[in-house]
């Protein structure tokens, strides 16, 4: 049984950890995909003649044409002609032109900074794109970009107007991995929660009376109860009265009337039935019944303990006489007191 509980815990815990780890890795990838600092550490500045297709580079934009060249995604994304700083193999920087695909928000931000870009270039992380010239979506991109470039240079090179840089693939990948991270994180968290709940259940199961007071003594006296359920006490009780919820298991009295309550009968000096009548402001009066145990045991800090049992009406006291007779027979040292009544 214990092996099954451990196996059940492992089936939840380790897959949960795996989901969480995978979610974190996806999140890290998403957050670092377009991270300028990491790209700078790799010295991945854009150079048209060294750039590889679908690789991410930093574009140091120092100018932008406020009019888009070609809408490439039905208005959400557009191609803008930008100038940028490009280093040659000797480390010399020159200003070059390239098409840059931007979303509306990023384009607006760059256009708003247009007058300051020359002195403070904006670093943009984007993917180098070599479009298929036969693709209808971009088939006239080259002609439009070439025409736009001719406003600034007389003979633009075909490599510059046939290819472009886009932030769209990186943004799309980033969004995809953020979604994947969330999709993995939720079931991972759920599995860890279930594993935690299962562990708590296993701990409670291994301790018969987890969460109840005065239970260590009975488990210490009768180790066979460890790992059993509370119902084991009732099934193996030497005295059982389900109506008043009064039981005796070997040397212990117990009841489950209001949770599990246990009393060591060998320490009891006397016991009596106390019936209390309650008069609520709204509603009819009703009775509660208690067994009151008294002790003179020096190791017991509470000398008098009142334990609630089920009240079955006027016959409760008469019904309890069988219990008291059992105590007189099996625990003759216990004095049976007279019933007391309290009214509130």
Provide the pLDDT for residue 244. 94
Provide the pLDDT for residue 157. 67
Domain range list for the chain: 2-32+175-204, 36-166, 216-343
Provide the pLDDT for residue 152. 72
Class of domain 216-343: mainly beta
Provide the pLDDT for residue 290. 95
Provide the pLDDT for residue 249. 93
| CA–CA gap between residue 322 and residue 187 (Å, rounded) | 56
Decide: residue 61, CB within 10 A, 0-12 exposed, 13-18 middle, 19+ buried.
buried
Provide the pLDDT for residue 343. 64
Low-confidence residues in the chain, pLDDT < 70:
1-9, 70-75, 132-143, 153-159, 161, 198-214, 227, 229, 343-344
Cβ neighbors of 219 (< 8 A, separation 6 or more) are 207, 208, 209, 225, 226
Provide the pLDDT for residue 267. 92
Tell me whether strands 304-309 and 286-294 are parallel, antiparallel or unpaired: antiparallel
Provide the pLDDT for residue 319. 93
pTM for the predicted model, two decimal places: 0.48
pLDDT digits (tens, 9 = 90+) for 145-188: 777 777 776 666 666 767 888 888 777 887 888 888 889 888 88
| Nearest Cα residue to 83 out of 183, 21, 196, 165 | 165
In a 13 Å sphere around the CA of 220, the CA atoms on its Cβ side amount to 5
């Amino acid at each position: 049984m214990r092996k099954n509980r451990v196996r059940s815990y492992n089936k939840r815990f380790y897959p949960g950890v795996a989901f969480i780890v995978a979610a974190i890795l996806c999140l890290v990838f998403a957050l670092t995909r377009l991270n300028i600092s990491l790209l700078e550490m790799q010295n991945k500045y854009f150079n048209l003649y060294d750039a590889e297709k679908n690789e991410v580079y930093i574009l140091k934009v120092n100018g932008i044409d406020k009019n888009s060249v070609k809408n490439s995604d039905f208005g959400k994304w557009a191609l803008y002609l930008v100038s940028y700083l490009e280093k040659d193999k000797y480390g010399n920087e020159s200003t070059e032109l390239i098409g840059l695909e931007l979303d509306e928000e990023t384009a607006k931000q760059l256009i708003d900074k247009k007058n300051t870009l020359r002195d403070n270039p904006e670093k943009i992380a984007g993917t180098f794109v070599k479009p298929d010239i036969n693709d209808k979506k971009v088939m006239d991109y080259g002609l439009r970009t070439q025409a736009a470039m001719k406003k600034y240079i007389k003979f633009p090179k075909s490599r510059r107007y046939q290819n472009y840089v886009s932030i769209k693939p990186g943004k799309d990948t980033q969004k995809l991995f953020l979604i994947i991270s969330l999709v993995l994180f939720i079931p991972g968290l759920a599995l860890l929660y279930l594993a935690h709940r299962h562990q708590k259940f296993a701990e409670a199961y291994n301790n018969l009376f987890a969460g109840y007071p005065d239970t260590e003594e009975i488990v210490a006296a009768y180790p066979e109860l460890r790992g059993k359920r509370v119902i084991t006490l009732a099934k193996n009780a030497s005295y059982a009265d389900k109506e008043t919820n009064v039981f005796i298991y070997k040397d212990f009295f117990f009841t489950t009337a209001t949770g599990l309550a246990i009393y060591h009968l060998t320490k009891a000096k006397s016991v009596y039935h106390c019936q209390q009548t309650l008069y609520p402001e709204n509603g009819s009066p009703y009775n509660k019944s208690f067994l009151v145990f008294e002790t003179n045991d020096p190791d017991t800090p509470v000398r008098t303990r009142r334990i609630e049992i089920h009240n079955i009406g006027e016959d409760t006291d008469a019904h309890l006489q069988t219990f008291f007779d059992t105590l007189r027979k099996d625990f003759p040292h216990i004095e049976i007191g007279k019933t007391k009544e309290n009214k509130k």
